[in-house]
Amino acid sequence: MAFAHYGPFWRQMRKLCVMKLFSRRRAGTWLAVRDESAALARAVARRSGESVNLGELIFNLTKNVTFRAAFGADAAGDAGKRDEFIAIMQEFSQLFGGSSIGDFIPWLGWADQGLNVRARAARAALDEFIDKIIDEHMKRSKNPDDVDADMVDDMLAFLPEAKPKKAAGDDLQNSLRLTRENIKAMIMDVMFGGTETVASGIEWAMTEMMHSPDDLRRLQQELTDMVGLDRNVDESDLDKLPFLKCVIKETLRLHPPIPILHHENAEDCVIGGYLVPQGSSVMINVFAIGRDAKVWKDADTFRPSRFMTGEGETARLDFKGNCFEFLPFGSGRRSCPGMALGIYSLEFAVAQLAHGFSWALPDGMKPSELDMTDIFGLTAPRVTRLCAVPTPRLTYPLVSDVGATHKIHPEMYRAFVRGLATAKHAFYFFLQAVYLLAADLGSHPLAVPHLEPTEECANGSAMISPRTPSKNRHMDLRRAQFVTFSPAKVKPI
């Protein structure tokens, strides 16, 4: 969909994204964000006091979320399959971010430079991988309305060869027909849009706050005041954290998910005295727009307070596409359909990391010495992964479990292990443990009531877990010689 021309089919595909794939009604996708963010916090907590490759852990989070949303929990549990697909996606990312001599001298477009060979190989690998996934999903024939249905299940409802069951009154299903090629292209869009872009945003947010410790302390104080130190951040807390939202906005201003937006004008237009013929490739330098000193005070400085209501000079600006000074997700009908899910992922992950831990740079490094260099590709991530030393802030135990969040009271656990309680308590603990281990309950919280509640039981919990199923080119975008066209003047298609 990202590269499709505007028309009836494109409109239907966008409708599919908004109403089905990225809808808030697809609870499994949003649950994956919460589950993987909690897993990230646990992974960091296990390395408390030592240098952690936070950038790599963040990339694993977004990789797992998008893979689970696209292909389902079963496929997400296959590490080999997941890593194979991510390797294919990274190859495409490098190819999309590169350029050939034909981009600048059209009559030399015949010069391959090896890019076409790499592109054909990557496409063949992608075809083989997704064909297997589609065949597996067709065999199991899952209803898209099932709780554990994934994006492939949703799209198979529009694939005639899958013989989908039509839902009564579903106008989209009655009007849209997909091919395997359409499904492959959509999956690639989803994986690109949800993996590197979100991972880069989370990593840059943490990097900028470690480079500006006062902002990290302010965010942590807000989290302490609104959430407390006796529990982790919950989804319902996000709307009560205005400074967190300012941190995300400022990160997106300095480090947009896609630094260069590609458009094509539907008709001839004149901009700045230049005639731009119909069908021209127009590149919107969102990176430069967000750092324009004519619009932004201290344009290259990370200052989230600029967006705070009653405090910042640009508090009125939002990123929904109506303010052309700030376009991290594009504008108009070509804006990112997964914006809401992307923002949710950014806010939830950053909140978990900032609330759960105090952060220091390794080897006595000063904040001013932190490498802030980015690397140009389809996205603009850090040139090196962010490494930092975490120290837990919460009284809530992040690593007392080994994977899930099924809770039993600590008094029962200690009674069973140390034999300090009555045989009755130990016996009931044993029955509850057997039940939880036998039941495949996934990762949903399960509170086990205590026979004789005590203050100690109310203040803590033990956990028990059931079975669970080329090198990029460097480019300084600040000096990139691109003509910046506003979407208000160039009609995208």
Q: What is the pLDDT of residues 401-435, one digit of tens each?
A: 433 333 334 433 343 344 434 444 444 444 444 44
Residue 139, SS3 per DSSP? helix
Token pair of 121 as six digits: 């190989």
CA 334-292-295 angle, to 5 degrees, is 95
pLDDT band of residue 206 (cuts 50, 70, 90) is very high
Q: CA of 10: how far to CAs of 70, 280, 369, in Å?
A: 20, 19, 47
What are the residues whose beta carbons fall under 8 Å from the beta carbon of 257, sequence distance 6 or more?
A: 193, 197, 198, 200, 201, 328, 329, 336, 342, 379
95 vs 111: CA distance, rounded Å:
16
Contact 466, 440 (CB under 8 A): yes
pLDDT band of residue 463 (cuts 50, 70, 90) is very low
Contact 274, 213 (CB under 8 A): no
pLDDT band of residue 98 (cuts 50, 70, 90) is low
How many residues can be counted in the chain? 493
Residue pLDDT, tens place only, 472-483: 333 344 434 333
pLDDT band of residue 103 (cuts 50, 70, 90) is low
21 vs 184: CA distance, rounded Å:
14
Q: Are strands 446-447 and 406-408 parallel, antiparallel or unpaired?
A: parallel
Residue-averaged pLDDT of the chain: 76
pLDDT of residue 450: 31
pLDDT of residue 242: 96
The annotation status of 17 as a binding-site residue, yes or no, is no
223 membership: H or E segment, kind and range: helix 213-226
Contact 477, 259 (CB under 8 A): yes
Contact 456, 410 (CB under 8 A): yes
> In 289-308, which positions are buried (b, 16+ CB within 10 angstroms) versus exposed (e)?
bbbeeeebeeeeebbbbbbb
| Range 167-176 average pLDDT | 59
Q: Which of 302, 292, 343, 312 is nearest to 208 (CA)?
A: 302
| Range 209-226 average pLDDT | 98
Least trusted range by pLDDT, from 155-164, 273-282, 301-310: 155-164
pLDDT at 488 over 60: no
Is 27 buried (19+), middle (13-18) or exposed (0-12) by CB count in 10 A?
Answer: exposed
Sign of the alpha-carbon torsion through 262, 268, 270, 275:
positive
pLDDT at 48 over 60: yes
pLDDT at 258 over 60: yes
Contact 93, 195 (CB under 8 A): no
CATH 1.10.630.10 fits 8-397, yes or no: yes
Residues of the chain with CATH 1.10.630.10: 8-397
pLDDT of residue 397: 76
Q: Which one has a higher pLDDT value, 394 or 439?
A: 394
Q: How large a percentage of the chain has pLDDT more than 90? A: 34
pLDDT of residue 251: 98
392 vs 115: CA distance, rounded Å:
46
Token pair of 405 as six digits: 């969040």
Highest mean pLDDT: which range of 2-6, 106-110, 389-393: 389-393
Q: Which one has a higher pLDDT value, 339 or 491?
A: 339
Q: CA of 398: how far to CAs of 37, 45, 204, 232, 315, in Å?
A: 12, 7, 24, 9, 35
